[in-house]
Amino acid sequence: MTQLTCEIQTRQQTSLTPRLQQSVKLLQMSTLDFNREVAEAIAANPFLEDGTEIADSSDVSPAAVMAEAAAGKPDVDTPDLPAPDQAATAASHDGPGIEHLEYNAGEAERNHAGSYPSVHSNDHADNDVGAWARSPVSLQDSLRADLYGCELTARERCLIEFIIDALDSDGYLRTPFADLADAHRFSPAITDGEWTTALKLVQQLGAPGLGARDLSECLRLQLNALPGQTPYRELALRIAAGGLDKLARCDYAGLTRLLACNEEEIKRACVLIRSLNPRPGACFIPTDASSYVIPDASVRKAGKLWVAVPNQEATPQVHMNDVYAKLFRQSHGGDRSLMSQALQEARWMLRSLEQRSVTIQRVAQAIVARQQTFFDYGAIALRPMMLKEIADELGLHESTISRATTHKYLATPRGILEFKYFFSRELATNSGGKCSAMAVRALIREMIEEENPKEPLSDVVLASKLAREGVIVARRTVSKYRSQIKYPAAELRRAL
């Protein structure tokens, strides 16, 4: 007889209730996504209404309300609109003086190509400047546009598409050919010669230097694109091919020995190389997202202190539809389960909205209270601050603070900044105090901007100057911070 052994294991598991899941989801959303989510909730739930609505339901009977609500929210016009800020307007039910947005397919065909369909509304919400604004063109889109006029086979075009998609923000191809595509997708297999041919075609598209695999190739592509009679072009090509390490150290004597030229010619060729663009794809970097965001709060001066003021216009005004709720409670009979669930979801939504607003405002005020000197003196006075400090101060979990600071923006006298901008790790000082990494980067920027162009400050000198200011930073840390603020090494900043 086989003996069966039963083992009982105890395991602790944490699960989120639907209400908590909704709160977490709403908290981590950006303002635009949040407004869109709320608009969809208003459109789908008959017990929610926009705070700007003017409801006239005096002649509505309980039976009509229940019948209409069971089938979906009555009198709701929710067309797809191009602008997120119009979603709330579209989700509103009709009131006095508000007309439906009308769109007719036949009328659209009669309009000119690319024009807007006819929209009739007396609140001027159809004047969407953002829909007419020119959208930024990415590096990949620009190269594909240049590719349209080329006669290529389907196989060649496919290889070129793989290469274009693999280019990084600097315009470099840093991915090996073997990793660009699965070899089993092609029959016969792609050879290195085919990849090289496709890459050479990509390198002829757009600005010279795009599609390079390293800095040397990028510079050589740009030099080859210059007119043949350009002075010192050939010598610059030789330096780019095998002397960039010496150029980085300004080792003109070493270049003179390597290339058998006089030092004056070497310096002239180096000036030509420094005039080139080592990051040809940088001009396609997308515009800073803060140019289009809606700030969740703003900073104002109240006496001698800076305070955070919530941006009421960024938060949709949502209310419970008291008429529908009252009629639902007075109704009898019929299937009430779906409507009861909708009423409960509406209550959860309102509580989640309130909790989100309160949490973001508390976090914003805590940040502003700790960074008073920043608003007076700028990034150089930014204090070190960690998420855990705010979490302990507000009695919240660190993950909640992380969600409350992601994609949330603060309008300050020094620009619109993300909440996370104010969080920076601390560095030690000679006096035993603390200094934020952001402040050190601001100091480095200030020192570089004030340096003599003919005698730029090396990373070692920058570290020494920071030490004299009382900030203890290693040379490699200075090099990392200098790269983060987009300044090249001293040898490349030197003016000849």
pLDDT(96) > 60: no
Range with lowest mean pLDDT among 74-88, 122-136, 270-284: 74-88
pLDDT(320) > 90: no
pLDDT tier, 346 (very low <50, low <70, confident <90, very high otherwise): confident
The whole-angstrom separation of Cα 87 and Cα 69 is: 21
The whole-angstrom separation of Cα 110 and Cα 439 is: 59
290 vs 371, which has greater pLDDT? Answer: 371
What's the confidence (pLDDT) of residue 496? 56
Structure tokens at 187: 């029959």
CA distances from 341 to 277, 336, 348 (A): 61, 9, 11
What's the confidence (pLDDT) of residue 307? 93
350 vs 100, which has greater pLDDT? Answer: 350
The domain segmentation of the chain, as residue ranges, is 17-125+290-423, 139-203, 215-283, 426-493
Closest by CA to 496, choosing from 442, 444, 455, is: 455
pLDDT tens per residue across span 20-71? 777 788 888 888 888 888 888 888 888 888 876 544 444 444 444 444 444 4
Over residues 361-378, the mean pLDDT reads 91
What's the confidence (pLDDT) of residue 114? 38
What's the confidence (pLDDT) of residue 380? 79
Angle in degrees, 0-180, between the axes of helices 192-203 and 154-166, rounded to the nearest 10: 70
Over residues 230-255, the mean pLDDT reads 88
Residues 6+ apart with CB under 8 A from 360: 27, 296, 297, 310, 404, 408
The whole-angstrom separation of Cα 154 and Cα 203 is: 19
CA distances from 112 to 81, 102, 116, 119, 130 (A): 19, 18, 9, 15, 20
Residues 6+ apart with CB under 8 A from 44: 72, 73
pLDDT tier, 325 (very low <50, low <70, confident <90, very high otherwise): confident
Residues 6+ apart with CB under 8 A from 209: 171, 218, 219, 221, 222, 276, 277, 280
pLDDT(328) > 70: yes
State the Cα torsion 418-421-422-426 to the nearest 10°.
160
Q: What is the DSSP string of 396-441?
A: --HHHHHHHHTT-EEEETTEEEEGGGG-B-EEEBTTS-EEEHHHHH
What's the confidence (pLDDT) of residue 329? 76
The whole-angstrom separation of Cα 107 and Cα 181 is: 46
Closest by CA to 90, choosing from 34, 64, 60, 52, is: 52
Half-sphere exposure in the Cβ direction for 462 (13 Å, CA)? 30
Structure tokens at 380: 């150089």
pLDDT tier, 309 (very low <50, low <70, confident <90, very high otherwise): very high
CA distances from 180 to 162, 189, 349, 435 (A): 6, 13, 46, 44
From the centroid of its chain, how far is CA 123?
32
pLDDT(480) > 90: no
Over residues 198-211, the mean pLDDT reads 89
Over residues 225-244, the mean pLDDT reads 90
pLDDT tens per residue across span 105-120? 344 333 333 333 344 4
Find residue 76's DSSP bridge partners.
93
> Taking all residues of the chain, what is their mean pLDDT, rounded to a whole number?
76
Over residues 284-294, the mean pLDDT reads 63
Over residues 452-477, the mean pLDDT reads 84
Q: Are 235 and 269 in contact (CB under 8 A)?
A: yes
The whole-angstrom separation of Cα 255 and Cα 247 is: 8
At the top level of CATH, the class of 426-493 is: mainly alpha
pLDDT(431) > 70: no
Q: Are 338 and 46 in contact (CB under 8 A)?
A: no
Total-model pTM: 0.51
